[in-house]
Structure 1
Amino acid sequence: MNNNKIVVGSNEWCSFPQINIPAIKARVDSGAKTSALHAVNIVPFKKEGIPWVSFEVHPLQDDGKTTVHCEAQVHDKRKVKSSSGNSEVRFVIKTVLSIADDTWEVELTLTNRDSMGYRMLLGRQAMSGKMLVDPESACLLGEPTDDLLKQHYHNNLVKPTGLKIGLLASNPNLYSNRRIIEAGQERGHEMEFLNIKDCYIKLDGKNPEMHYRGGRILSDFDAIIPRIRPSATFYGTALTRHFEAMGVYTLNNASSITRSRDKLYALQLLINNGLPIPTTGFANSPLDTDELIKMVGGAPLIVKLLEGTQGKGVVLAETTKAAESLINAFKSLKANILVQEFVKEANGKDLRCFVVNGRVVESIMRTAAPGEFRANIHMGGTASLVKITPEEKKVALLAAKTLNLKVAGVDIIRGQNGPLLLEVNSSPGLEGIEGVSSKDIAGKMIEVIEKDLKYKRVEEVDNA
């Protein structure tokens, strides 16, 4: 203690006894005015004529199975600006915070924090006069053990009652993969991460099988969500195709993923369907380099590796000489490349339209970092919500439909004569778009599986 104030680190464990949350890890943020609690299924109602709200809290990070059902009297409704700069109207409740053997009443706004690092944000309004923050430290007040957390929440585990869904991918710790697992668990499904490298196939005309590390046979899955990194495309699509042969539903099928990964083939399919793209050239011989450069309008131009992704293998050649050197260097390495016109009026910006089951569920504008020409948030770029035009929406939907993708990230730039399609990604990342929009995009992916498999959740049946 210091001057009777509690000294805390950048994150600490606390509890909210009045709403039955015995332990939750909070991000301590003196830069935020208000405190926020992760809440879903927020439903207002009246109790003896007084406004109340019911909601569900998943108190443990990366865990959609542990669910606490809460009710509280509504203190206020308030417009709050999130860290991503977006405003939303939130319910505000008052409840008792317990930390370091001390308790006091705080205001909490209720919001979906799935895309944030912590289920709870403790703002300066709740800390004022009570705490001192040491930002270089963490959990100064101690941490509950896993056994204690299990003891706290053993009655709050949601038993799987739904589908068995496998996530076929390479990195279980990737944000997108964690969110999909969590979104499925929140809806009562049994979710399992299946590492691509640990799967192997039994080819048998009468009884095809998928085996997993240790000899386990994967025979009881209702659906598979393939999220295949480019370096694993060949093996990952082979596994996806085998699941299909076994009669398992796949969110994106193997042939669609294969089409999207072959950038040249994908562009050919897209232009054959009338979709606009930047002028693009492809040649095999270095003898054709000069013609290739002229074909796309000369320098500056873009050189793209056919196997590249997330901005890797994409280079800007600012002069004709640089373009010649770059193209010839790639060709000497026997690398397959596309040469594409540089659309200057795009000004380092592009649109990412997230398409799920024939609908654009969200769109963001990505802006390149200073000195960069690629609008890529993995390379220091920024993202913000954007309202797309009807023409841009039409391009995004037709692109996903052309490649037969249920889930797609469609990248578009705004040219002087209208939208130009850059690329269609069959395993689009969720972190940027969920972080900016605060929408449950992962949940919308799970809903597609439920719809296609004609599955109804328990509450939907009860309300029917």
Structure 2
Amino acid sequence: MTKLLEIGWEEWIALPELKLPAIRAKVDTGAKTSALHAFMVEKIVEDGQTKVHFGIHPIPQRPEVEVYCKAPLVDEREIISSNGQSELRYVIQTVAQFGKKKWPIEITLTDRETMAYRMLIGRSAMKGKLLVVPEKSFTLGALSHSVYDDAPKRHKKSLKICILSTAKHSYTKERLAGVAESRGHKVEVINTLRCYVDISSNKPTIHYQGKPLKRFDTIIPRISESITFYGVAILRQFETLGVFSLNSSAAISHSRDRLLAHQLLGRAGITMPTTAFAHYPGDTKDMIKIVGGTPLVIKLLDGQGQGVVLAETHKAAEAVIQAFRGLRANFIAQEYVKESNSKDIRCIVVGNKVVASVQKTYSEHDLGSAEKLKVVKTTLVEKKLAIKAARVLGLKFAAVNFLRTKEGPILIDVKASPGLRAIELATGLDIATMVIEYLEGHARPRLPKRIIGYHI
């Protein structure tokens, strides 16, 4: 019997036929077929054989490094991702090298731009050849991304940028547009509510004011709370066409759903105030007890920054909860952290970096609107919390709010469409330029998603 080659949960492998000498891959025994990041995918016929030509950014932290590959197309297959989304993907066959051994494997091509690993290794690539040892990693030895130092670099080019916004006059919109245009990019502001889509066509399009929209390189979504459902739907259609978005439709949806956001952040091990969610009126007293009694914070789930109330007594808490239930509004009750003294810290995250931090002071009873902003320095622990919270929700441009306590920072919430006016005025920092610089380094054509449906 042939001895199986042991591998860990993550490994360095090579795909020599694709001119990829080093790829850091994650082993996924839950997936049947391996998956590889790809963009600008084109089906071609060469010498009578159908092939796929595509690009890949092999180093997540260096998007300017691009490698273009070509491989035989063996199938177009329906793949169900971990979130239940069903997608039609191209399947190629190429040789994979694991340490000193190599053999041909099948790989599906998909957009993994926001993922930490450019490749997943599925069961079909491992069958009869590999044995996974989950507690180990890099058992095959170390490779290095330095092998791509001589690879062609993507040169800076003018981008065609779409800003999705319904605001007639907006400091943030005008700042972003102004900075982008000053750096040589073309900017078009599109009213989200004037967009409509053809979702039944084999060639899906987005129409605006009676005409199909031309392709954009990237989108900056400035979707207000009141139109989240429609705005996210329009943004999702742009993504279906392969347009890069500063914040994805899924990330915006997750962050706007306060309950889901708390669940995702809690699952990731991020410390938050004790939170309770209930529907039945008879559970109100126990709900208050779960969060440690009064005072407590009550938050509406359908708005960020609005509908946040501090209830200082049981009577006040029950009255607010009864009022919200009377409006048929969903809400959560949350522990009030007394150490905060009606103050919290806001960090602005762009990409994987905290670019600005301020302390916000609130009025005694209204926790929804800050009265004063003050520049503060944040610790390494606080910065790591802010970056991790944004990453868990998939946001590349976010405002992360947390409280300072003796035990460490406690996360409050994460906002997907932070305004720039107050924080730029308070800090004197040019955050708009930082956002556009991020787009310049990361915006590129994405692999259009051929979504079939969702499986639950």
Q: TM-score range by the shorter chain?
A: 0.5 to 0.7
Q: Which residue of 2 aligns with 1:207?
A: 203
Distance in 1 between residues matched to 2:350 and 2:303, nearest whole Å = 24
Verify the 8 A CA contact 1:348 1:375 in the aligned structure 2.
no
| 5+ long unaligned stretches in structure 1 | 1-160, 456-464
Q: Give the CA deviation at 1:437.
A: 1.5
Q: Which residue of 2 aligns with 1:447?
A: 437
Q: Does 1:432 align with 2:428?
A: no
Which SS does the other structure have where 1:415 is aligned? coil
Q: Which residue of 1 aligns with 2:238?
A: 243
Verify the 8 A CA contact 1:285 1:331 in the aligned structure 2.
no
Q: 1:275 aligns with which of 248, 270, 276?
A: 270
Q: Which residue of 1 aligns with 2:358?
A: 364
Verify the 8 A CA contact 1:167 1:224 in the aligned structure 2.
yes
Q: Which residue of 2 aligns with 1:326?
A: 320
Q: Which residue of 1 aligns with 2:344?
A: 350
Q: Give the CA deviation at 1:392.
A: 0.9
Q: 2:367 aligns with which of 356, 371, 374?
A: 374
Structure 1 runs of 4+ aligned residues shifted over 3 Å read none
Question: Compared with structure 1, are the counterparts of its residues 453 and 332 closer, same or farther at alpha carbon in structure 2 (3 Å cutoff)?
Answer: closer
Q: Give the CA deviation at 1:343.
A: 1.1
Larger RCO: 1 or 2 (CA < 8 Å, sep 6+): 2
Q: State the number of aligned residues.
A: 289
Distance in 1 between residues matched to 2:434 and 2:201, nearest whole Å = 35
Q: Give the CA deviation at 1:233.
A: 0.5
Distance in 2 between residues matched to 1:224 and 1:449, nearest whole Å = 9
Deviations 1:364-419 (A, max 9, x none): 111124x4452734xxx111111011111111010001001111100011123211
TM-score (normalizing by structure 1): 0.61
Verify the 8 A CA contact 2:309 2:365 in the aligned structure 1.
no
Which SS does the other structure have where 1:200 is aligned? strand
Q: Which residue of 1 aligns with 2:85?
A: none
Which SS does the other structure have where 2:404 is aligned? strand
Deviations 1:244-289 (A, max 9, x none): 0111111111001000000000000001000000111000111100
Distance in 2 between residues matched to 1:322 and 1:266, nearest whole Å = 27
Distance in 1 between residues matched to 2:254 and 2:293, nearest whole Å = 29
1:208 maps to a residue whose letter is: P
Q: 1:296 aligns with which of 282, 291, 297?
A: 291
Which SS does the other structure have where 1:418 is aligned? coil
Q: Does 1:234 align with 2:229?
A: yes
Distance in 2 between residues matched to 1:222 and 1:423, nearest whole Å = 30
Deviations 1:115-173 (A, max 9, x none): xxxxxxxxxxxxxxxxxxxxxxxxxxxxxxxxxxxxxxxxxxxxxx7111010011031
Distance in 2 between residues matched to 1:163 and 1:236, nearest whole Å = 22
Q: Which residue of 2 aligns with 1:197?
A: 193
TM-score (normalizing by structure 2): 0.62
Two-structure CA RMSD over aligned residues (Å): 1.5
Which SS does the other structure have where 2:320 is aligned? helix
Question: Compared with structure 1, are the counterparts of its residues 365 and 375 closer, same or farther at alpha carbon in structure 2 (3 Å cutoff)?
Answer: farther
Q: Does 1:398 align with 2:393?
A: no
Q: Give the CA deviation at 1:345.
A: 1.1
1:394 maps to a residue whose letter is: K
Q: 1:176 aligns with which of 168, 172, 177?
A: 172
| 5+ long unaligned stretches in structure 2 | 1-156, 446-456
Q: Give the CA deviation at 1:339.
A: 0.2
Percent identity among equivalent residues?
45
Q: 1:306 aligns with which of 290, 301, 304?
A: 301
Which SS does the other structure have where 1:432 is aligned? helix
Q: Does 1:284 align with 2:274?
A: no
